[in-house]
Amino acid sequence: MEYLKDSELILNPDGSIYHLNLLPEDIGDIILTVGDPKRVEMVSRHFDEIEVKKSKREFITHTGRLGRKRISVISTGIGPDNIDIVINELDALANIDLHHRVPRDKHRSLSIIRLGTSGSLQADIGVDEVVVSGWGVGFDNLLFFYTDYPKVFNRELARLVEMALDNQISVYTAQGSEQLFRHFASRFRHGGITITSPGFYGPQGRRLRLSSILTDAHIRELQMLRWNEWRITNFEMETAALFGLSRLLGHQPLACNTILANRATGQFSKDPYRAVERMIVQAL
C-alpha cells in the first residue's frame, strides 16, 4: 500500500485530522452536516447524551447518542471548498489508518446528511418548507479536479442544464443516496434537483451593484427544466459537492434544505430560526 506523506495526510500533534481536529473514534456512522457553527448545538441538544465536543476554526463537532444511534453533527462553513475539506477528512477518519498512513483493508461507509438552508426556484415551494435533494448540479468546478468524477456524472442532466444557461457554464452532476432519499421524502413534501453555486450573489443570479451572467431568462429556463420526473427546486452552496465526493468515496449522502428565500415570489422567511428548528426535529 502507498504510504501517505506528511504533506498530504496532515495530522495535528495529537494525531487528529488537521482541519476537523478529530480522531477516528470521535465520529459516528451517521454524520449530520450544517453550515452555520451555531446550528451544531441546535441539533445536538436533541441527543440523549453528548460524548464528544471538539472544534477548530469554523469546524465544530458534537458526537452523541439518540436512542441506539451514534450520531455526529459537524459544521462545514459555507461553500464547496469547505465541503472538499470535510468530506475528505471524514473519509480519512473512517478509511485510513492514521498511525500507519495507509488505507484500511475494510471500507467503512458513512451516512452523510446535510441539514441546510436554501432558496427555492419554484413558486409552489414556499418559504419555511423543506426540499430533499435527489440530485445535485454543481456550478462550481470542484468535482472536475477528481479523475473519477465520470463515475457519478450524468451527462444527459448536465447537458440539459448547460443548454438552459446558453453553454456559459460547465456543470457536474451527482446523485444522492436513493435509500436515504426515499426515507426522508416520506417526511418532507418536496424533492428535486439542487443547484450548488460557488457564491451567493452573482453565481445564483442575484444582482446588487454587479451584473451576473445568469439572467432572468436563464433562471426561467432552469425553473421550467424537466428531466424524467425531476425538476430543479433550489439554489444553495454545498449539496452537489457533498453528493459527488461522498459517492466517489463510497458513502451515502443526502441533503435536506429549509427554504428561507423564494426567488420566484421574492419572499424571505420571517422566522428562519424556527423554520430550521422544525426541519431538525423532523429529520431526527
Confidence bin at 146 (pLDDT 50/70/90):
very high
Q: 139 and 103, same structural domain?
A: no
Cell numbers 428562519: residue: 272
Q: 124 and 72, same structural domain?
A: no
Q: What is the mean pLDDT of residues 186-207?
A: 95
Rounded to 5°, the CA angle 242-227-220 comes to 90
By the 10 Å C-beta count (0-12 exposed, 13-18 middle, 19+ buried), 80 is classed as: buried
Q: 103 and 217, same structural domain?
A: no
Q: Where are the alpha helices (DSSP H) in the chain?
A: 39-44, 80-95, 155-164, 178-185, 216-224, 239-248, 272-283
Give the CA distances from residue 32 to residues 26, 111, 112, 267, 280, in Å, rounded to whole numbers and listed in that order: 14, 8, 6, 28, 10
Q: 276 and 165, same structural domain?
A: yes
Q: Residue 2's pLDDT is what?
A: 79
Tell me which residue range forms the domain holding 218: 117-284
Q: What are the b/e assignments for 192-226, b being 16+ CB within 10 Å?
A: bbbbbbbeeebbbbbeeeeebebeeebbebbbebe
Confidence bin at 219 (pLDDT 50/70/90):
very high
Q: 127 and 239, same structural domain?
A: yes
Is residue 1 pLDDT above 70, yes or no?
Answer: no
Q: 245 and 146, same structural domain?
A: yes
Q: 231 and 134, same structural domain?
A: yes
Q: Which of 64, 84, 108 is the last residue before a domain boundary?
A: 108
Q: Which of 74, 108, 142 is the last residue before a domain boundary?
A: 108
Query: What value does the mean pLDDT of the chain take?
Result: 97
- The total domain count for the chain is 2
Is residue 112 pLDDT above 80, yes or no?
Answer: yes
pLDDT digits (tens, 9 = 90+) for 270-284: 999 999 999 999 999
CATH number of the domain bearing residue 89? 3.40.50.1580
Q: Residue 81's pLDDT is what?
A: 97
Strand partners, 102: 97
Q: Which of 57, 83, 108 is the last residue before a domain boundary?
A: 108
Query: How many helices and strands (H and E) does the chain possess?
Result: 7, 14
DSSP assignment, residue 240? H
Q: 39 and 177, same structural domain?
A: no
